[in-house]
Structure 1
Amino acid sequence: MSTIDMRGAAAVAGIAELHYRRGESPHGELRMTLQAILAACADAGIAPRELDGFVSYAGGGNDGSVIGAALGVDDVRYSAMMWGGGGGTVAAAINAAAAAIATGQADCVVAYRAMAQADTGRLGYAKYYYGPHYLAHGIGSPAQVCAMRTQRMLEHDGVPREAMRALVLAAYRHAQNNPTAQAYGKPLDEDAYEQSRLVTEPFHLFDCSRESDGAVALVLVSAQRARTLNQPPAYVIAGAQGAPGGYSARIDNDDQYSTAGFAGVNGRPGVADRLWAVAGIKPSDVDVVQVYENFSGPAVAALIDHGLAPSGPAAGSVLTVDNLTAGIGTLPVNTSGGNLGDAFVNGMNLAAEAVRQIRGTSTNPVPDAKLSLFIGGPMAPLVSSTLFGHEDAL
């Protein structure tokens, strides 16, 4: 089946998310996963027994056989899990669900992620993909690895540090309109941002994502069926994932060192290039973006990789607080508050917000949004993106 056949073949019909402060969830990952899936099915108007496909980003202990049995589904026809850390393939989980529907492997697929500190702990020192070339020099956390790449982006490429600050302040601005956001009622200004403690240069405290307990589920069905259900469909227009050559977990001075991993190299198209080619649109056509911010610097790099902002000093003219704010700017980003101001469920919560923008139900709605982009974890070994669209965009 060609990539063109995938365009709009599947749609998100139901969404649900739960999130709590780190370590404060009342239940473990399995129960929260089930709660989120049941709520997403209710949102769509689908009986949970109809689910026949299950795709998770990480969380391998709760696979399709476990979730399907707990829900009493009629038949598990499709089950998959996306690899890669740092949220890199969280969007790919949605792409896989859409592909399963488009190719007839399943009819009703849920993409999900759950996190509970009591179950699986947190991403502590040296628990990720770090090889001896990192550990021997004291580099053993995601913040440290991404900080080195971000510092190269600032010093070598000339991207102004103020672009990072603008991304953070826009997220906190959006969070003030979202009652469920952890930063709700806690506005952030430039002085507080600048005076916050340095975590690892160039990241200050507010450049770093929150850690939350919670679960998110998105239920996908065929485009034809989605039109008969409760909610306006958010069609999967295009998706892409990959690990470009020379950019991986075990290389630390590669050709794309200051990028987020979505860019092409040596004339080869990258993940972002493939996304736009399949979608048949230009980056400037996108109405709203949800970009995974493990840290502010990688998110800035991801926006640049996708052609949404220029590289170098010119990035500062696009990445301003007002231009990143819904209802004000031309590039509204992370309209729920994102991983920085809302919650962090490995980025799957950003996908739910991308769908809400198509529905018009976001707490910071972008008027008449037709194309909503979800960018998975940047500067991860594997990366991915998904473009959602309104029916008018098909």
Structure 2
Amino acid sequence: MTSQTDGTAPAEEFMDKVFGDYVGANAIFMAAIGDRLGLFKDLAAAGPATSVELAERTRLAERYLREWLDGMAAAGYLTFDANGGRYAMPADHVPVLAEESGTMFMGAAFFDYSTKFGESFHALLEAFRSGEGVRQELYGQEAAEAIERFTAPWFEHQLVPVWLPLMPEVRTTLEVGARVCDVGCGQGRALIKLAQAFPHCELVGLDRYEPAIQAATENARQAGVGDRVRFEMHDGAAGLPGPFDVITTFDVLHDSADPAGLLRAIHDGLKPSGRYVCVDINCADRSQDNVGPMGTVLYGLSLAYCLPVSLARGGAGLGTCGLPEGRLRAMALEAGFAEVRRLPVDDPFNNVYELSL
């Protein structure tokens, strides 16, 4: 046993922590394979399987599946029945691993985000040397899909039933029929949900990323709301085609190359009685307070995407933790907003704000 006085005990404790982090990284790597290939969903729907049975059900290579099943069992994601030789997913694991867009689903939040940035990794290393950014286009379609999957539970389970009841003026305006603009709309899920819930509204989504606009347009068509929702390739900071009754941004403002300019554009794009709904990161004003597991996740996301994408456009580079409540309030007042109200939402990841003129 190592002596507590020879100076090695703290180093060994930290070594244990790093090893634990590495264990987690390997579990996430293997889980990402299961997520992207639909293995968790298959086990949840079709039940326990041997590696041979799973290969037959999924038409994937048995040898790889055998290794993956053993790894997931070692990590505690699956269980193994030695008598039957079958691997199973415990019922309590199903909502976390297999229920897409569910309130507890973590596939997109962790598996996608942790494994979809390999192509941009070397570009990020070069950005550390040059101080420049990494273009959004370099991240590719899979990163866009990861963001879409990550944010989906907000719109499926929070936007209409939880957040809007806390904003009665906004909800009443939507019920009567409003002109709505979602800036940084991505693949359009927020506007589609609003269109389905409030059929008298006219809605437009803006995004700089052309593939997102194409996907959003198709998603709206498939949802049957394409006649009331349109999507345009447009940089919101350059001005909005207003005036609008309601403008929204969902996890967009801190990523913007020009967040101050975007806030001014949103201010100018609102009707006098309009409302701006801003959903952004729940973080502390001081960096030294963004510590522990959530702080680690937020700074990891920031380095992987938020910071380099903003800097690539010569932007402010706020980073994921760059827009805490205090900073948002100061920037909003400077942009001309009269009131910033933070909603009483208990969400470890998001703050929800209602801004008015």
Taking structure 2 as the reference length, what is the TM-score of the superposition?
0.30
Larger Rg: 2
Greater per-residue helix proportion = 2
- Greater RCO, CA 8 A, separation 6+: 1
Taking structure 1 as the reference length, what is the TM-score of the superposition?
0.28
